[in-house]
Amino acid sequence: MRAGFIGLGTMGTSMALNVRAAGYDVIVNDLRRAASAPHLKAGAAWADSARQVAEAADVVFTSLPGPREVEEVALSENGLFASMRRGTAWFDLSTNSPTVVRRLHERFVKEGISMLDSPVSGGPAGAKSRKLALWAGGDKAVFDRHKPVLDAIGDQAMYVGPIGAGTVAKLVHNTAGYA
């Protein structure tokens, strides 16, 4: 299975390196080409756009700052929607909006592309050590099929319900943490 990873920031860089360390072929993209240096050294490939990642990958992971960036990567001319193949899957690891996640899911599923929201919790140290919770919402069969690669990202990958449930679980967790 070839895994694509878009977003090599504070969380994404370690998660992508862990997927590569688990033996998966990885293709990466980030706005900053320099962010790919440790990934290329570890044997990952570079893609110039989200579109190129999607064309080459069986499963795509995004770890982006927020809903606006997720929508841009998903729907832009050189984005995921323009290039993902039927039967492939996209897991958004970003902290997102349930409304955005559900809207994107509806659009992707009509084209035979699986989309799951799967935000993470554990911070940069957890991303590096693979001590992360992943709360996945979407199609359970797709979650089950990709569980081994999710386990390469974090040690607590959990299916929590239909699309949007992962994002809601993460928002509730964050709110409880602030209280």
Active site residues: 170
d(CA 71, CA 169): 20
Query: With contact defined as beta carbons under 8 Å apart, do 17 and 39 qualify?
Result: yes
DSSP state of 84: P
Query: With contact defined as beta carbons under 8 Å apart, do 134 and 159 qualify?
Result: no
- Rg of the chain, C-alpha, whole Å: 14
Q: Which residues share a beta bridge with 161?
A: 137
Place of tokens 């902290």: 95
Place of tokens 């509730």: 172
